[in-house]
Amino acid sequence: MAATRTGPLAGTVVADFSRVLAGPLATMMLADLGATVIKIEHPRGDETRTWMPPAHRGRSTYYLSLNRNKRAIALDLDREPDRAVATAIAARADVLVENLRVGAMARWGLDYETLASRNPRLVYVSISGYGEGPGATKPGYDVAVQAASGFMDITGEPEGPPTKAGVAIVDVETGLVATIGALAGLAARARTGRGQRVTTNLLAVALFGLANQVGSYLATGAVPHRLGNAHPSLAPYQPLACQDGPLVVAVGNDAQFARLLTCLGRDDLAADPRFATNERRVAHREELARLLEATLSERPRAYWVTLLEAAQVPVSPINSVAEGVALAETLGLAPRVRLPGDLALDSIANPLTFSTTPVDYVREPPDPDADRDWVLAWLRGEADES
């Protein structure tokens, strides 16, 4: 199998039947890693193509942020000729990713059992909103799952309303989990010679992503509640007011707390029994915050950042997205990549690096049906995976 890609998945073919965010993020990750990803869309196109503003040269930036390194073909799966093309793609694929309504793929003869009879090496990844049991008919949208899972209930100020995350965090997490599932399926296939079906869903991922919060509930029965920007198990671990605005201080152990006090000239607080241990600091977090802010408010944030970073105390101003990107650039992380193509599109870099099989960026997000000729030629054996 010829391949010109450099990533660890070069030569792997992914049939992408997904849409919106979770599935496309997973397939973009696989594409970044070198896989040949064929995006199969209804002629109407992925919904996110219409999610504007914002836009870049008339194209939705939402869509553009999730679909680089892919090829696209438009197929109406309710039409037999288009179904035949989709089936042929799946028959040659190593991985298939879908997040359509539960049962839709079966209606078109594109379910795992049917496809596995033709392609037993296929790793078939299905993403749903609430699983394939009693919740199968519930539409899965990120903000609804943030609400359903308890995520919103623990996010926001204690006396304020529940608050969603500033990004579709459950969809993002689910896309990453689906990527892990696809890679694990490929690893198992390398050992057994056979593919398998991998399933995940937004609600299960949201609960898993609640991590220590759901873990504490399951272990103790105590339901966590909103703490604003405070941490349920650490203090100080929150924004604290300085002369010109808030500064996040994230103390994770006693040694960091001692260094914080030294920097602030408040070594006297180390002897205060209210703050002698982390557990005591958590119990008295409000009093501790007031005492620390009394000193922090005497000087601007930049002064404290310089001093605290030099002392290895975790600290940061609350940056805008633009400032976050600029910080990463300052630190040499190269967060911005210019994709090849006519769009002159800057995109966020893949966060993985490999010493011998680097991530590459070979094409900008495709327009609808942009690669029909290539896909059909590939099915005839007249084009290589690339």
Q: Cis peptide before 317, with omega less than 30 degrees from 0?
A: no
Q: Quote helix, strand, coil % in the chain, to nearest 5.
A: 40, 15, 45
C-alpha separations of 130 from 109, 178, 248 in Å:
23, 15, 36
Give the tokens for residue 335. Answer: 């967060």
Determine the number of helices (DSSP H) and then strands (DSSP E) in the chain.
15, 13
**Distance of alpha carbon 345 from alpha carbon 326, whole angstroms:** 17
Question: For residues 178 and 24, is the Cβ–Cβ distance under 8 A?
Answer: no
Q: Which helix (H) or strand (E) holds 187?
A: helix 169-192
202: phi then psi, degrees, rounded to nearest 5: -60, -45
Annotated active-site residue 171? The verdict is yes
Tokens of 358: 């680097």
Measure the CA–CA gap between 171 and 247, rounded to whole angstroms: 29
Which residue is catalytic, options 46, 82, 171, 371?
171
Distance between CA atoms of residues 279 and 233, nearest Å: 8
**Catalytic residue list:** 171
